[in-house]
A = this chain, B = another copy of it.
């Protein structure tokens, strides 16, 4: 398992990690398979979306805070109830395929670590899986 450290700087933030994941795939020496990108936190997540226009991630952040408002009567009294719920809507892991040691993302896709209760020091854990020979 390869651990990648991330330092977030805002309460909520979609931070792109495509380069770090691509480097880890290249360093693995593997040719074809899947990389699992896992978030070991309960107030963060990971998703894949457009990395060309930063307005897309701003819209995702705005909508998530509309869907899961900060001012709901949460029973969890640590002030981060919304962050826990966002984490479960977005999810704690994604997979990206790779071939010839390179990530196979769609043309507009990037991988984003989602901070929902920052700023904090965070990690993502990468596991590599070999594709079956068919």
Residues of A within 8 A of B (CB): 1, 27-30, 32-34, 36, 38-42, 47-50, 53, 55-56, 58-60, 62-64, 66-68, 72, 74-78, 81, 84-85, 87-97, 99, 104-109, 125, 127-132, 134
What is the bound-complex CA distance between A128 and B107, given in angstroms?
Answer: 22
Q: Which of B40, B92, B106 contacts A41 (CB 8 A)?
A: B106
Nearest-CB residue, chain B, relative to A77: B55
12 contacts between A and B (CB under 8 A): A1-B104, A1-B131, A30-B132, A30-B134, A38-B96, A39-B106, A42-B109, A47-B92, A49-B88, A64-B85, A67-B67, A95-B95
* Interface SS majority for chain A: mixed
Residue of B nearest to A131 (CB): B127
CB distance from A36 to the nearest CB of B (A): 6
Q: How far is the CA of A1 from the CA of B34 in the complex (A)?
A: 11
Task: Name the distance in Å between A51's Cβ and chain B's nearest Cβ.
Answer: 9
| Residue from the list B85, B92, B106 in contact with A48, Cβ < 8 A | B92
**Alpha-carbon separation in the docked complex, A89 to B128 (Å):** 25
In the complex, the answer to whether B128 meets A129 with C-beta atoms within 8 Å is no
